[in-house]
Structure 1
Amino acid sequence: MHRLRAEDARRSRPLRGMRIIEISSYVAAPLSGLTLAQLGADVIRIEPLDGAADRTRWPLADSGTSLYWSGLNKGKRAIEVDLSDERGRRLVGDLIVSGGRRGGMVISNSERHPDLTFEALRARRPDLIHVLLTGRRDGSTAVDYTVQAATGFPQLTGPENSAQPVNHLMPAWDVAAGLYLAVGLLAAERHRLLTGEGQQVRVALEDVALATAGNLGYLAEAQLSGTPRERGGNYVYGSFGRDFTTADGGRLMVVALTPGHWQSLLAATGLTEVVSALASALGVDFAEEEQRFRHRKVLGELLAGWFETRTLAEAESALRATRILWSTYRSFTDLAADGARLLRESPLMAQVRQPGVGSHWAPGSPVVMDGEQSPPGVSPLVGQHTDEVLRAELGLGESDLAMLSETGVIRTHDNERSVA
């Protein structure tokens, strides 16, 4: 693993001294906590007895440990509390409102428990910062996949010759919402620092998707144009870009955004004169991005003929000598197999020895602060820090912890029944 000097660690962990309680599950809220933890915040994850519902979500290691959960909770602390018990919720509430200037912050994706809502907790601490993820603005439920379906993107995703909607494998709205939650918390903390006032921050998953569709022009186009956009497969909308197959079955994605990219692509493939003649015949100028897009299919077929007569290595060699935007298609298995070059040499990655998983390459924070970034941490076991957190943060003694454990209000790693 990366070893940071003390001064480097200070630069890469600017949120050190900030304590955040996380009551969450699945992607968006845990990603928010992970983002803040990797920047130095002390994020304490609240787990119900035996772990939250996402604790065993696929993919799994051979031991049954969730690789998904381990990835989203690196570097956090975890306590195990019976949230169905009023005494357990009281403990969690005590944690949220304690901590002085460094505490009083919570991230949640549920309003299930009335005593842990913003209103209830603000009555105990007026400067509380309560960050809440909802499915829709009105508080009703939704998940990434249903938000995708409701906001139009699956109708434009997938092969050109298919009329079926295609949901994206990557939960983009969960990821974007998680980052918005983190930004919202930091904005609220800045406001509290300046004014002493707390507040609730709410982010709705559906709003994130609608905002993105609006910010990228999709919604304006649908309102102002009478012609629905057609599904484009792997063509880049409004410019020239598509995938190509080589003689030996390799596949690349090639994008020419600028006139310089376009001229470079034609020079690399020896098609400059042919395409110039085509432009003259059509009466267009392919230096214009609009014209490259309008005539993308005939241009694409000309270029496809060149790629189909070259091996992947030959095509890569020709493109590597240019400033064209391109990449070979690789699977996750390819990425893992290529670890000697990509994963081991990337400053983002470091080896982590995760209980239940073993040693593997994992990412730290992609945010580079003054040339330094925080390396990945280890994800906690269920209840791993229960005693530690309650003792240090709430001042509970051994007799208090023993009583809470004996009555089933809390559970520690030593007496947990679940497999982490």
Structure 2
Amino acid sequence: MTDGPLSGVRVLDVSTILAGPLASSLLGEFGAEVIKVEHPAEGDPARHYPPLDGGVSAGWARLGRNKRSVTIDLHHPDAAGLVGRLAAHTDVVVTNFRPATLRRFRIDFDDLRGHRPDLVMVHVSAYGRTGPYADRPGFARVAEAFAGLTYRTGEPGRPPVFAGYPVADGVTGIYAAFAALLALRQRDRTGQAQLADIALYEPLLRMMEDFIVDYSVTGESRERQGNRNPHISPNNLYRTRDGRWLALPASTEQMWWRLVKVMDAADLAVHDSMTARLEHREEIESRVADFVAAHDLEPLMSRLLEAGIAAGPVNSAADICADPHIRARGSVVEVADDRAGRSYLMQAPAGRFSGFDGSISRPAPVLGEHTTEVLRELAGLHGAEIDDLRRRGVV
């Protein structure tokens, strides 16, 4: 891709697993050139997560797309200089090692901006670069628990549960890509190097807008409520007669009155405010559940949509891939990998734009596939020098 809005931006991805690599992948979908640094022996641990396809994680086809792979052993004493030579020709470095690890590898912000004075670094770490927990290890599930999401997820009176996907990685990956764009904008305005310090838990905490402000007013933490919404009723998952599940949130007054009409439940009209509906939640949720349970999903969906009610099925992966709207929008695409001799279904770049498109311009790389060409192009090394680095275990 050469005409995306980030065309001409080069990203050095010195991160592993999910949040950091997702951030660089998002930048790559809109034109940035992404070079991924991996360990020579194993590569990114995400390459090895089951299910495996030909010995490589199926998920790697998505996480590694639009990237070139360069192998460098960051533990080797000569690795820091090599990363610095690449950083000298890079706009953005994305990393997610602990702060102490970056210092030990000698590839921290101050080290790398010595090679490029206007460098942008996006540093994702469990707890951020400052504060008493700065060098604690952490992954998405730890961040979700720390930020309070896990505390409020689950059924009342039951143990907390994780969300169905490690959402901290996804939310923070998106936020880190956003932070990269903010930092690039500031760099372009000032000509100065920029460091974006993103703690894995912070975007998630920011996303839960009601959690802290409600506590500040009530003095109580929002407890687990299952699928119920603390601010809206009815708002739940309801089982249909044919065993499917329906998401039905009456989030506005207009939606509530439409639902009352479709249910032919004029007696419920007495609950004419959200406060009243929350006070009578048990009655309302039970009535809606009985109504949904009396219908099969598809005819009920037609009836609700005809009435202008927001509702939707709880989709499996199979449902998503077969859905006509998903297919019409191109939200899931088939990407061919000629080297693997097969194609993969995967999520497309999100969003549709008037002046440009997101793009999957290259399949996920084989480990170290581009080491030689990148070291030649950016580090200015020749064949014998690269061979020497390989002999000494640097790459």
TM-score by length of 1: 0.84
One-letter code of the match for 2:262?
A: A
Partner in structure 2 of residue 248 of structure 1: 242
Distance verdict in 2 for CA 1:331–1:347, change over 3 Å? closer
Secondary structure, aligned partner of 2:159: coil
1:53 CA drift (Å): 4.6
Larger Rg: 1
Deviations 1:118-170 (A, max 9, x none): 1222233322222211211332222221122223222221223x420112122
Distance verdict in 2 for CA 1:360–1:177, change over 3 Å? same
Partner in structure 2 of residue 106 of structure 1: 93
Counterparts of 2:116 and 2:342 in 1: how far apart (Å)? 42
Partner in structure 2 of residue 180 of structure 1: 175
Q: Which of 20, 23, 30 is equivalent to 1:32?
A: 23
Deviations 1:330-384 (A, max 9, x none): 2223334x26x35532333321123548312222321433254223241111011
Residues 167-316 of structure 1: pairs in structure 2 closer than 5 A: 167-213=162-208, 216-240=209-233, 241-271=235-265, 273-276=266-269, 279=270, 286-316=271-301
Deviations 1:167-202 (A, max 9, x none): 212222222222222222222222222221112221
How much is the aligned-residue C-alpha RMSD, in angstroms?
2.2
Whether contact under 8 Å (1:80, 1:382) holds in the other structure is yes
Secondary structure, aligned partner of 2:195: strand
Distance verdict in 2 for CA 1:209–1:386, change over 3 Å? same
Q: Which of 301, 323, 346 is equivalent to 1:362?
A: 346
1:35 CA drift (Å): 0.9
% same residue? 26
Q: Which of 373, 376, 384 is equivalent to 2:357?
A: 373
Partner in structure 2 of residue 156 of structure 1: 152
Distance verdict in 2 for CA 1:147–1:357, change over 3 Å? farther
One-letter code of the match for 2:140?
A: D
One-letter code of the match for 1:331?
A: S
Counterparts of 1:236 and 1:379 in 2: how far apart (Å)? 39
One-letter code of the match for 2:84?
A: G
Whether contact under 8 Å (1:57, 1:68) holds in the other structure is no
Partner in structure 2 of residue 283 of structure 1: none
Structure 2 gap segments, 5+ residues each: none
Counterparts of 1:63 and 1:342 in 2: how far apart (Å)? 32
Q: Which of 37, 59, 63 is equivalent to 2:50?
A: 59
Secondary structure, aligned partner of 1:291: helix
Deviations 1:279-312 (A, max 9, x none): 2xxxxxx332222222122012122222222222
Partner in structure 2 of residue 413 of structure 1: none
1:143 maps to 2:139:
yes
Distance verdict in 2 for CA 1:185–1:321, change over 3 Å? same
Distance verdict in 2 for CA 1:200–1:362, change over 3 Å? same
One-letter code of the match for 1:322?
A: A
One-letter code of the match for 1:109?
A: N
1:76 maps to 2:77:
no
1:203 CA drift (Å): 0.7
Structure 1 gap segments, 5+ residues each: 1-5, 280-285, 411-420
Distance verdict in 2 for CA 1:371–1:363, change over 3 Å? farther
TM-score by length of 2: 0.89
Deviates more, 1:373-382 or 1:48-57: 48-57
Distance verdict in 2 for CA 1:369–1:249, change over 3 Å? closer
Partner in structure 2 of residue 418 of structure 1: none
Partner in structure 2 of residue 346 of structure 1: 329
Secondary structure, aligned partner of 1:247: coil
1:236 CA drift (Å): 2.2
Deviations 1:210-233 (A, max 9, x none): 3334xx121122233144434221
Secondary structure, aligned partner of 1:166: coil
